[in-house]
């Protein structure tokens, strides 16, 4: 019997190895989907739940879009369904509390929000939950020794009563165009045993609207006890915004390209035409010299 030579054996080994490798790749485990829920109450109106779906890839979290998530209040039951949402391209969605859960919500003091997803070809089904105490946030202003102060109060529901919520970290800020600016030097303020945090307003002269109105914002962020509460109050503490008469339709250096100043167009155009006229003249001279040489 003819013995297979070493090369054939080697290639057979490589082919088997590659096959195993390919099978192993096919059996790659599905990436794990992560579901984050957040409870929000803005200006003590209708609460809503934020949803964020993501997965971990090479040490980074990547948003996962188009995931249908069912959100329930307290437990997974049809009667407790807040809604079904599909995450957007950034993996986010929100769902407001519907009227159907009002009776359940009115009696709640501590509550849990449950989110579930169905299994798909890419991800296994998962569920997640977040718990919070039913709470409210209020904002008021007081004068202390002639200084403007902001008083933020956080209360939580206990039985049928609203009682102070102490040790809640809050951010007290002024709303600006792009973000919020802290009203004083510290980043956060913690409520005392009366559920209150007081801070002196130090942004004297901050620009407001035409009447000098600014919007104060107090909020808790991902607080483990009360979730995300926020409240706004408009106060006339800013300086009046004065229109400087900036008109983007005028011909200026900072206007769009079709509104360049006439003097610049004239100056740049003259220099350009002057220099390029010389260049064109020189090219014509070369053409003339060429003709002279060829005749």
Partner 1 sequence: MEKLTLSPEKITADLVPQAFGKRGMIWTGCLLVLCAIGLVAYIRQVTKGLVVTNMRDYVSWGIYISNFVFFVAISLVGSLITAVFRLADVHWSTPLTRIAEIIAVSAIVFASLIIIVDMGRPERFYFLLLFGRIQSPIMWDVIVISTYFVISLLLLYLPLLPDIKILLEQKGIGVDRFQKLYRFLGSFWKGLDIQEKMNNKAVTLLCVTIIPVAFSIHTVTSWLFATTYRPGWDSTNFGAYFISGAFLVGAGGVVVAMYVFRHVYKLEKYITEMHFDRMGKIVVMLALLYLYFNVNEYLVPAFKMKTSEEAHLMQLFTGEYAAMFWFAIFTGMLIPIAIMIFKKGRKPLPMFVAGIMVVVGAWFKRYLIVTPTLLHPFLPMHNVPASYHHYFPSWEEWAIAIGSLAGAMLVITFFARILPIIPIHETIIEQHETAE
Stretch of 158-166, 183-191, 192-200, 285-293 lying at the interface with partner 1 (CB under 8 A): 285-293
Q: Which is nearer to partner 1, 17 or 273 (CB)?
A: 273
Contacts with 119 (C-beta within 8 Å, 6 or more apart), sequence order: 125
One of 18, 194, 265, 273 touching partner 1 (CB under 8 A): 265
Q: Does 266 bind partner 1 (CB under 8 A)?
A: no
Q: Does 241 bind partner 1 (CB under 8 A)?
A: no
Candidates 157, 175, 155; CA nearest to 165 is 155
Q: Does 255 bind partner 1 (CB under 8 A)?
A: yes
53 within 8 A of 71, measured Cβ to Cβ: no
Distances (CA, A) of 109 to 74, 115, 131, 150: 11, 20, 11, 28
One of 257, 263, 270, 273 touching partner 1 (CB under 8 A): 257
Q: Does 254 bind partner 1 (CB under 8 A)?
A: yes
Least distance in angstroms from the C-beta of 295 to partner 1: 10
Least distance in angstroms from the C-beta of 288 to partner 1: 7
Q: Does 282 bind partner 1 (CB under 8 A)?
A: yes
Least distance in angstroms from the C-beta of 58 to partner 1: 15
Least distance in angstroms from the C-beta of 171 to partner 1: 15
Q: Within 10 A of 22 (CB to CB), how many other CB atoms are there?
A: 10
Q: Does 278 bind partner 1 (CB under 8 A)?
A: yes
In the chain, % helix, strand, coil (3-state, to 5) comes to 25, 40, 35
How many residues of this chain interact with partner 1, rule: CB under 8 A? 28
Least distance in angstroms from the C-beta of 188 to partner 1: 16
261 within 8 A of 73, measured Cβ to Cβ: no
Rounded-to-integer distance, Cα 230 and Cα 117, Å: 29
- DSSP of 60-120: EEEE--S-EEEEEESSS-GGGEEEEEE--TTSEEEEEPPGGGHHHHHH-SEEEEEEEE---
Contact positions toward partner 1, by CB under 8 A? 253-257, 260-261, 264-265, 268, 271-272, 275-276, 278-279, 281-283, 285-286, 288-294
């Amino acid at each position: 019997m003819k013995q297979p030579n070493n090369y054939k054996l080697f290639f057979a080994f490589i082919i088997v190895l590659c096959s195993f490798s390919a099978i192993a790749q096919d059996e790659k485990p599905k990436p794990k989907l992560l579901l984050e829920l957040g409870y929000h109450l803005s200006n003590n109106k209708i609460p809503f739940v934020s949803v964020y779906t993501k997965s971990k890839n090479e040490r980074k979290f990547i948003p996962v879009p188009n995931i249908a998530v069912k959100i329930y209040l307290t437990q997974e039951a049809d009667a407790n369904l807040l809604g079904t949402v599909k995450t957007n391209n950034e993996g986010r969605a929100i769902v407001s509390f519907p009227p159907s859960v009002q009776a359940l919500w009115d009696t709640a003091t501590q509550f849990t929000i449950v989110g579930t997803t169905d299994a798909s070809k890419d991800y296994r089904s998962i569920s997640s939950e977040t718990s919070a105490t039913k709470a409210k946030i209020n904002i008021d202003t007081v004068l202390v020794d002639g200084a403007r102060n902001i008083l933020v109060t956080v209360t939580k529901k206990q039985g049928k009563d609203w009682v102070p919520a102490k040790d809640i970290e809050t951010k007290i800020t002024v709303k600006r165009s792009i973000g919020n600016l802290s009203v004083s030097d510290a980043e956060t303020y913690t409520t005392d045993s009366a559920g209150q945090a007081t801070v002196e307003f130090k942004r004297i002269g901050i620009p407001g609207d035409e009447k000098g109105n600014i919007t104060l914002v107090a909020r808790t962020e991902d607080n483990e006890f009360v979730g995300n509460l926020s409240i706004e109050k408009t106060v006339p503490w800013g300086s009046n915004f004065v229109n400087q008469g900036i008109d983007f339709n005028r011909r200026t250096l900072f206007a769009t390209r079709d509104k360049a100043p006439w003097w610049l167009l004239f100056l740049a155009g003259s220099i350009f035409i002057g220099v390029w006229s010389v260049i064109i003249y020189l090219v014509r001279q070369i053409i003339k010299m060429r003709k002279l040489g060829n005749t």
